[in-house]
Amino acid sequence: MKIAIHTLGTRGDIQPYLALALGLKAAGHTVLIAAPTQYEAFIGGRGIPFSHLPGEFLDLMDTPEAKAAMAGGGGFAAGFKMIKQFKPIGRKQLKAEWQAAQQFQPDLIIYHPKAIAALHIAERLSCPAVLASPLPGFTPTRQFASPMVPFRSVGPFNPLTHTVMAEGAEAIFRKMIAEWRSSELNLPKKPANKLKPRATLYAYSPSVLPSPSDWPDDVVVTGYWFLEEERRWQPDPALQAFLDAGEPPVYVGFGSMPGLDPAELTELVRQALSDAGKRGVLATGGGAIQAGPAAPDLHIIEGAPHDQLFPLMSACVHHGGAGTTGASLRAGKPTIICPFFGDQPFWARIVRDLGAGPAPIDKKHLTSALLAAAIIEATTNAGMARRAAEIGARIRQEHGVNNAIAHLERQGLLTPRSAPAAQTEPAAGRG
């Protein structure tokens, strides 16, 4: 079958879908990934055909409004400014997604929640579409509120939070989508019936968050989609020498989160590590951490594959993105989350509830004293270390990509794989 994967966002929104694409290719399918243009080499270099989506989405994250929103200092005003700036990019995205689909003519579209054109394109091509997400929030449940709201639960209104947040983008861009449907897809401005995915794949571990009992059978928690090809990475000589020089360090990195004052945040981290008496590996990532002078107890890197780096650490400090959280839990390491925005506070609460990390420290309230206390707890609490190790062992036994493919086959959305799976897969999470 010909399968198009449409995804948009930062590295954490791309890498799991590349892992899924490689699994689908190994199962005998022809796969195309449509993603921001910045990821052409990352995807194409692994043998997956690539189609360009606008790269301005990532550029938008470097604007003052985006930095303010992600740092928590801009409130709703910053968010609304971001939406206003995204609208012209959104029109380009709709056009680019449709061009990719016209050229590829897929039998099935698998799409990230930000790929707002996918369901409409599936209607135009009369092919099924499958929602694939690294976080819950697109299937209403009574068991917890949407990850995108700042509450663990609002009781009987929990299902409504999922519906409102899931349909928010469609509502914001309704006029733009209606015009695009008419002018480019030759469809009525409004679908005759509400468009829904034929199935939903949630790419996180049921050991971290089990599937709610009130979800339908076409929705599945598959396990994380890890890019196993990254196993070829090895520490460079400087990093290896630092690792060999003392006890396992603490990882500190904030992924693609830009910092409003990276020098201040870096100094805060340095002080916290010093106060905790711990060595640290700091990753500059998207700019939240700043490269600086060498120090005996600190080593600064631009980045490294988390699934290879994290097992070498004693604990991990990060922003709580879905993929980074999955990587630190898979490594079996106590995890300290300093959430910036979005779903990150949700994963921070999950990690704490699992007993795999201390209480989260909101980025807005982060101090060196609070971070030092959390690092000390994470690296000295034997019960926390044991719990993190147990969760990591379970995650390492899961095979999320194969579980996702098997689910789509059971739903009749994929033809059976061309060869038997190399190993027996554990049942995907369903409660």
Residue ranges of the chain with pLDDT lower than 50? 73-78, 419-431
> pLDDT tens across 377-428, in order?
999 999 999 999 999 999 999 999 999 999 999 999 998 865 444 333 334 4
- The letter for the amino acid at 328 is S
| pLDDT at site 62 | 66
Instruction: Using alpha carbons only, give the angle 290, 319, 84 rounded to the nearest 5 degrees.
Output: 90
Q: Specify whether the CB–CB gap between 220 and 429 falls below 8 A.
A: yes
Residue 153's pLDDT is 93
Q: For residue 89, what pLDDT is reported?
A: 83
pLDDT value for 209: 97
pTM listed for this prediction: 0.91
CATH for the 2-228+397-410 domain, from 3.40.50.2000, 3.10.310.10, 1.10.10.10, 1.10.3210.10: 3.40.50.2000
Same fold, 2-228+397-410 and 232-395: yes
Q: What is the 3-state secondary structure (H, E, C) of the chain?
A: CEEEEECCCCHHHHHHHHHHHHHHHHCCCEEEEEEEHHHHHHHHCCCCCEEEECCHHHHHCCCHHHHHHHHCCCHHHHHHHHHHHHHHHHHHHHHHHHHHHHHHCCCEEEECCCCCCHHHHHHHHCCCEEEEECCCCCCCCCCCCCCCCCCCCCHHHHHHHHHHHHCHHHHHCHHHHHHHHHHCCCCCCCCCCCCCCCEEEECCCCCCCCCCCCCCCCEEECCCCCCHHHHHCCCCHHHHHHHHCCCCCEEEECCCCCCCCHHHHHHHHHHHHHHHCCCEEEECCCCCCCCCCCECCEEEECCCCHHHHHHHCCEEEECCCHHHHHHHHHCCCCEEECCCCCCHHHHHHHHHHHCCCCCCCCHHHCCHHHHHHHHHHHHHCHHHHHHHHHHHHHHHCCCHHHHHHHHHHHCCCCCCCCCCCCCCCCCCECC
Phi-psi region of 137 (alpha: psi -120 to 50; beta: other; left: phi over 0): left
* Pairing of β 108-111 and β 50-53: unpaired
Classify domain 232-395 at the CATH topology level.
Rossmann fold (3.40.50)
Write down the pLDDT at residue 63: 66
Buried b (16+ CB within 10 A) or exposed e, 344-366: bbbbbbbbbebebbbebbebeeb
- pLDDT score recorded for residue 172: 82
CA–CA distance, 169 with 9 (Å, rounded to integer):
14
pLDDT of residue 127: 98
Q: What is the pLDDT of residues 264-309, one digit of tens each?
A: 999 999 999 999 999 999 999 777 888 877 788 999 999 899 999 9
Residue 75 CA, chain-centre distance (Å), reads 23
Domain ranges (residues) in the chain: 2-228+397-410, 232-395
Instruction: Give the C-alpha separation, 256 to 287, whole Å.
Output: 7
